Structure 1
Amino acid sequence: MKLYIYEHCPFCTRARLALGVKNIPYETVVVMEGDAETPTRLIGKKAVPILERPDGSHMGESLDIVHFIDQLDTPMFDGPANEALDAWGTDAWRLGLKLFIPRFTKAQFAELATPQAREAYRLREEKAFGDLEALLADSAALIAEMNVKLKVLSGLLGEHEFSGISDIKLWPILRSLSIVKGLEFPPAVLGYMETIEKAAGVNLLFDQAM
């Protein structure tokens, strides 16, 4: 199977995470930013992730891909959701975007390897989120707000280990936040992040923190 992704994309990370923790072999294909032709040819629109299934057909939508992957062998992600973790992710998402999106535009990802691709991405995100430099300038206040939320998450995680679909949705948010220098990840949160990183073989972004 092939998985078409952007390396930075949290939705792509969901699919990578599912494949990784289930030890299902796959080939990664990075789609360059600004390349609308490839995804449109495969699924009819510019969107990733895209999974090429064993029969050669293609599918999009991250959670649909996760469900398909899960049915290839003994299901791991078909149990009840953890409502508290889901609620935390929903609450933290909008704030998180303000922190990690401006940093993504400056980071080293394969899909941004050319000046043209990086500029296409910057323009796309600026259209969605406004002045990215203004968001960076507001980092201190945004980081302080997110640090409070991370303390709340620590209490929710406790001794929680990877167990289902809620982790598939939560971990990519935390991976995205790992690019934000100054965030304080409590031990329970950091341990959770690192344990899943090793299990899935998908890197956190602390080495690019800014």
Structure 2
Amino acid sequence: MSRLYVYDHCPFCIRTLMVAHYRQVSDLEQVVLLNDDEASCQRLIGKKMVPIFEHQGVAIGESMDIAKLLDELGEGPKTLRPLQLAEATQPRLQPVQAHSWALTFPRVTQIGMKTFATESARDYFRHNKEAMLGLSFEQALAETEAHKAVIERVLAELPPLTLPSEQGHTLSWNDVMNFPPLQYLTMVKGLTFPPRLQQWLQEVAELGGVELYFDRAI
């Protein structure tokens, strides 16, 4: 049996989980690590990084390498449609990443993720992410409305994304790349998504076997 080691909140891990589900990879065990579990990562690949895919006695990192391997191992009848550069969202989202982090980092430990099941895992994440943000989680939460305004403007300007239902209920590599950062934002209560983008999120989540966080948004 192969194993896929993940954090259940990690956007890079979500990519691999989507491909594994959609392509119907068999005999695959999903192992959710605690955020402060450095030992498991070090044992497997010599550094703290997820996802990690252990297959036939070999462990590899790097989410897209893993996703491509899972695609090859998949036995499902539906393939992934090719990447279309016109639908890339990263060039729009990257410049406002700090605003996205300020919205999501303080919230993700509070919505029931297995990765944060212990206080030490939550404290580990908080220490590292507050250093990245340059401000406390409390300050980031207090500035929610300002960060939301920036993100909502960018969401409204994203290029139109092809709905899976428009392509025979299939996923594309664009969907695999675009979904995780946008999924992350669904944990922000009251954040407005354009209707078509929200429909795209729902369709991709269903086909990819992953969840959205609207029902537990903070």
TM exceeds 0.5?
yes
**Offset of residue 165 of structure 1:** 2.2
1:48-127 maps to which residues of 2 (within 5 A)? 48-53=50-55, 55-73=56-74, 76-77=79-80, 79-86=82-89, 87-127=91-131
Give SS of 1:166's match. Answer: helix
* Cα distance change on mapping 1:93 and 1:23 into 2, 3 Å: farther
Partners of 1:198 and 1:20 in 2: CA distance: 10
Using structure 1 for the length normalisation, give the TM-score.
0.89
Q: CA deviation at 1:146?
A: 1.1
Query: What residue ranges of structure 2 are gaps of 5+ in the alignment?
Result: 165-169
Deviates more, 1:140-149 or 1:87-96: 87-96
Q: 1:182 — aligned with what?
A: 190
> Segments of 4+ in structure 1 off by > 6 A?
none
Provide the residue aligned with 2:5 in structure 1.
Answer: 4
Q: Displacement of 1:186 after TM fit?
A: 1.5
Distance (whole Å) between structure 1 residues aligned to residue 175 and residue 81 of structure 2: 12
C-alpha separation between the residues in 2 aligned to 1:191 and 1:71?
A: 28
Residues 67 and 77 of structure 1 are in contact (CA less than 8 Å); yes or no, is this contact kept in structure 2? no
Q: Which runs of 5+ in 1 are unaligned?
A: none
1:170-209 matches, cutoff 5 A: 170-209=178-217
Deviation for aligned residue 1:105: 3.0
Aligned to 1:129: 133
SS of the counterpart of 1:20?
A: helix
Q: Does the 8 Å CA contact 1:93/1:173 hold for their aligned counterparts?
A: no
TM-score calculated relative to the size of structure 2: 0.86
Specify the alignment match of 2:152 in structure 1.
Answer: 147
Paired residues of 2:163 and 2:203 also in contact (CA < 8 A): no
The 2-side partners of 1:71 and 1:112 are apart by 32
In structure 1, distance between residues paired with 2:17 and 2:155:
24
Count of aligned residue pairs for this structure pair? 207
Q: Tell me the secondary structure at the aligned position of residue 34 of structure 2.
A: coil
CA contact (8 A) 2:98 2:133 kept: no
